[in-house]
Amino acid sequence: MCGNNNCDCLRDVLCTIVKIQKQGECIDGGLQSCDRPYLGVNSNSVYNTRPITFYTCPSNTLWTMPYTLDGTDGTSSVFRVEAVEDCCCTCRVLAPSTTEGTPYVATDSFFTINLNCVGAIQCLDDTYIACI
């Protein structure tokens, strides 16, 4: 169901993601879910980003946003949560990387989404993004 009911649960998960991305230290424990309290496969990993995707509500369509990187335009469905306030979430668009071993690169493209328009989020594997 879409609407105000989505905001609280999504906001809590996204706030946890922002917190662990900012703290730079590991916390033991937690489930292997979007809001586990550390980045990486275990608490000894060195990552700074938990990439996510959004699915729209009510159609469950994958959310995509445009970006420009090094003079090239593209579209991505992978984002880094930068801030959460009330029912709004500000994200950075992540572009596919051309460097082996690095799945994404940061862009200077940002957007703010109303969480009442989000039906679901998917967390991707934690990673290190340069220039954050």
Identity of the residue numbered 41: V
pLDDT at 57 over 80: yes
- Of 32-46, 83-97, 108-122, the poorest mean pLDDT is in 32-46
Q: Which one is predicted more confidently, 39 or 125?
A: 125
d(CA 29, CA 98): 34
Where do the structural domains in the chain lie, given as residue ranges?
A: 4-123
| Residue 54 burial (C-beta neighbours within 10 Å; 0-12, 13-18, 19+) | buried
Q: What is the SS3 assignment for 72?
A: strand
pTM of the model: 0.83
Mean pLDDT value across residues 34-57: 77
Q: Are 77 and 62 in contact (CB under 8 A)?
A: yes
* Structure token pair of residue 21: 């991305």
pLDDT at 54 over 50: yes
The predicted pLDDT at position 102 comes to 87
d(CA 84, CA 54): 14
The predicted pLDDT at position 100 comes to 86
Please state whether beta strands 52-56 and 65-69 pair in parallel, antiparallel, or not at all (unpaired).
Answer: unpaired
Confidence of residue 15 (pLDDT cuts 50, 70, 90): very high
- Whether the bond between 103 and the residue before it is cis, its omega within 30 degrees of 0, is no
> How do residues 67-80 score in pLDDT, each as one tens digit?
999 999 999 999 99
d(CA 11, CA 36): 15
